[in-house]
Structure 1
Amino acid sequence: MTFFPDAAVPPGRLAVGVVLPSPAVRRAQKLPLAEAARHAEQAGLDLVAYRDAPAGEPSLDAAVALAAVAAATEHITVVSEAYAPALRPPDRAAEQIASLQYVADGRLVLGVGTGGGRARWAAAGVPYEERGRRTDATLRLLPRLLAGDGSPLPYEQGGPAAGLPPCVPMPPVWVSGNSRNTVRRAARLGDGWYPALAPPAEVAAGTVHLAELAAAFGRPAPSVVVGTLGALGTDPDLPTRTELATDLATAYGSTAERRAEVPVTGDAREAAEHLHSYCGAGVSRVVMTFAGGDWRHQVELLAEVRGLVG
């Protein structure tokens, strides 16, 4: 297997990627998932991501979707956004991750989260209050499971692993979320911290805390990857930054003022200047979700932005 490093970014360059379209967008725009991934790769983007069960909307199983994406592309980094390993038994999570890493030829980045409502965790038989502890335990187990170590797993009921996946390199782990617990998990167990929809000043403060915690754990500071929202171009039908900030405030119970610096809008130069504000916060990668417009065209505009921030 050829191993691709963690979306290697030359010093001083911001890597730019995109969250793949939801089933609703793909259906409305007649855009198959594999075609969307290939379009992002051919446009020159660095990353494509697929979110594990977004709240409030139907979604494909993340492992199935990412396998299709990996098989349809050749060199772009494939990111599982907010994959929840604690919802699966550790050996099952290892099997899925190893299979994805194998199909992606080493291009997988494991974005890990503990999100979703209580009903999702209850359906998996995982107490909601234990999601963090189980996530940490699985992250500690994964390197040896992916290396082929079949020693017994620390299930409550005991017993050995059900089966071993093919041996593959452990993918880089980006810990998704904005909470202090997430920053701590990233510092202790992650290769990257992946906050979403946070303004640059909040990301900068989190980056300082992340570096301090990592140093206390005797680890190098993880990289910082930001998830943001965009509507690129000058089409008058696109939502404005103010409208998007208001929508975010309503969805997340905050204020439009706090969210005002999150949405990326306007032409390529304006959007590039906006993304440069994250560079000052220590960010090395940005992954954008589109909030409107034709998805293919938005990717092409984002590729122009990438050229300007490179």
Structure 2
Amino acid sequence: MGRLEIGVVLPGIAVQRRQGLDLATAAQHAEDAGLDGVWHGDHLATGTPSLDCAVGLATAAAATTRIRIGASVFIPAIRPLAWAAKQVAALQYVSGGRLVLGVGSGGGPEQWAAAGVPYGERGARTDTALELLPRLLSGEPVRLPHGPEVELSPAVPVPEIWVGNASPAAVRRAARLGTGWFPSLVPDARVADGAARLADLAAGHGRPAPVIALGTTGVLGTEPGLPTREEIAAGFAGVYGVPLEEAVALPVTGGPAEAAERLAACRALGVSHLVLGFAGGDWRRQCDLLAAAGALLD
């Protein structure tokens, strides 16, 4: 069983303001704590203050030297494809090849309407992006759908591409076009089932099974005032369509020893990368406790 890499979602604007943080300081702290990656979402019009994904990750890249820089998840299909490729290439370039590109097609109808892209086209546009992005990033001349041939420069090494979501369509995309499968907040049984289908589908395409990365949430520590496991589960169960009795098992909680048990359970499912968004607490202390939990697995 290989090592479990552990990454964290960078703090949102509300947490930054409340705790006197900025993205550069947060990324530096996660790297100094010994974690493996920092991650930023891609949100256009959600009503919640957020930064542009590429700008946020470029800031984190400039402040660090070792840690992975991850998009959780980038939505290429709401952008013109050449522009999406240029953003990805720039991030790969300025990070020195540390980018991990999570790719999704979500965000809800409002986000797609704000981008001027029909919601019903999201699947086909995502497939096209996954098919053409590697060639565009490599500097090949590429004929765009219904458009001209373009050649982007500078060429960059193609980053790992992890296909987000636990849907059957996402598993099929990951098996055919991704180097990883990246579901979030799904019960262990669904991860195990998806992993089996992923391996079978990838073999049918003559490809090795993509790695499995899992997105989750939690809060570490035992001090008063932190949200409980039940409160955390209640906050995401309905949004992610997970029954509450199953959702309660998913958050990473407790002190380092207890949290390490949950991390070990994820690794036993075949998960090789875990990306955690904190549900409360001091962000820097949460990083330290998470790193301590991860150290118990080694």
Q: After alignment, is 242-251 or 193-202 more displaced?
A: 242-251
The equivalent of 1:230 in structure 2 is 218
Q: Distance in 1 between matches of 2:130 and 2:153?
A: 16
Structure 2 counterpart of 1:22, one-letter code:
G
> How far apart, CA to CA, are the structure 2 residues paired with 1:260 and 1:106?
37
User: Aligned with 1:37: secondary structure?
Assistant: helix
Given candidates 26, 38, 43, the residue that maps to 1:36 is 26
Are 2:254 and 1:266 equivalent residues in the alignment? yes
CA distance in 2, matches of 1:160, 1:123: 27
The 1:88/1:185 distance shift into structure 2, 3 A limit, reads: same
Partner of 1:7: none
Structure 2 equivalent of residue 240 of structure 1: 228
Instruction: Point out where structure 1 has 5 or more consecutive residues left out of the alignment.
Output: 1-10
In structure 2, C-alpha distance between the alignment counterparts of 1:191 and 1:111, rounded to whole Å: 10
Within 2, Cα distance between the matches of 1:113 and 1:282?
A: 21
Structure 2 CA distance for partners of 1:253 and 1:192, relative to 1, 3 Å:
closer
Moved more, 26-35 or 195-204: 195-204
Q: Does 1:281 align with 2:269?
A: yes
Task: Give 1:218's aligned residue.
Answer: 206
Corresponding residue number in structure 1 for 2:148: 159
Note the C-alpha offset of 1:309.
Answer: 1.6
What is the CA deviation profile of residues 227-286 of structure 1, one whole-angstrom value per residue up to 9, with x for unaligned ones? 111110001211111111122224334421021111111000000011111112110111
How many pairs does the alignment contain?
A: 297
2:130 alignment partner in structure 1: 139
2:7 partner amino acid: G
Q: Deviations for 1:163-206, whole angstroms, at most 9, x for unmatched residues?
A: 62311111110111111111111111000001101122221111
Counterpart Cα distance in 1 of 2:110 and 2:186? 26
Q: Output the TM-score relative to the length of structure 1.
A: 0.92
Residue of structure 2 aligned with 1:62, choices 53, 57, 60: 53
Structure 2 CA distance, aligned partners of 1:141 and 1:276? 36
Distance across 1 between alignment mates of 2:35 and 2:282: 17
1:90-169 alignment, distance < 5 Å = 90-155=81-146, 158-161=147-150, 164-169=152-157
Q: Give identity over the alignment, percent.
A: 56
Corresponding residue for 1:257?
Answer: 245
**Partner secondary structure for residue 184 of structure 1:** helix
Q: Distance in 2 between matches of 1:125 and 1:240?
A: 40
1:79-110 Cα offsets, whole Å, 9 max, x none, are 01110111111111111111000000000011
Out of 188, 192, 195, the residue aligned to residue 207 of structure 1 is 195
Change in CA separation of 1:176 and 1:238 when aligned onto 2, cut-off 3 Å: same
8 Å Cα contact 1:246/1:255 also seen in 2:
no
What is the rounded CA distance, in whole Å, between the counterparts of 1:178 and 1:131 in structure 2? 16
CA RMSD in angstroms, aligned pairs only: 1.4
